[in-house]
Amino acid sequence: MQQDDKSIKAENFFNKLFPSRNITRVLLVTPPDADETLFRFDTAKRKRYTNYPPYGLLLIARVLEALAIKVEICNLNFEILQECRNSKSEKVFNHVDVWQRKLDQKLKDFSPDFVGVTCMFT
């Protein structure tokens, strides 16, 4: 496939995805650091997991804001750790439920035109 064909294909794809080409609201998401099988409630409760700011997403957000795009960041790792610390017991804490509920709420409240998700590994 020639480069022009690839460009046309890409252009058609983005025209379908964003017909008006007007993105005004972007949600940037940091997923949990680990899935529920690796998460240890007692470790999180003792505040022994790392919880770094999503520096890369903050840089991207700053560039988008300079272009007059509204940006919000949803740090699901932070949300899980906070919910764990606030939980009375491991029995009432549900790792998957926490991040899904928080992400659903953010999508509903912010209603982004575009969602970007960062990851370190597959």
Q: What is the pLDDT of residue 2?
A: 62
Phi, psi of 113 (to 5 degrees): -80, -25
pLDDT digit string (tens) for 72-84?
Answer: 999 999 999 999 9
Predicted model pTM = 0.82
Interatomic CA distance for residues 33 and 83, integer angstroms: 15
Q: Are 116 and 29 in contact (CB under 8 A)?
A: yes
Residue with tokens 């480069």: 3
pLDDT digit string (tens) for 89-106?
Answer: 999 999 999 999 999 999
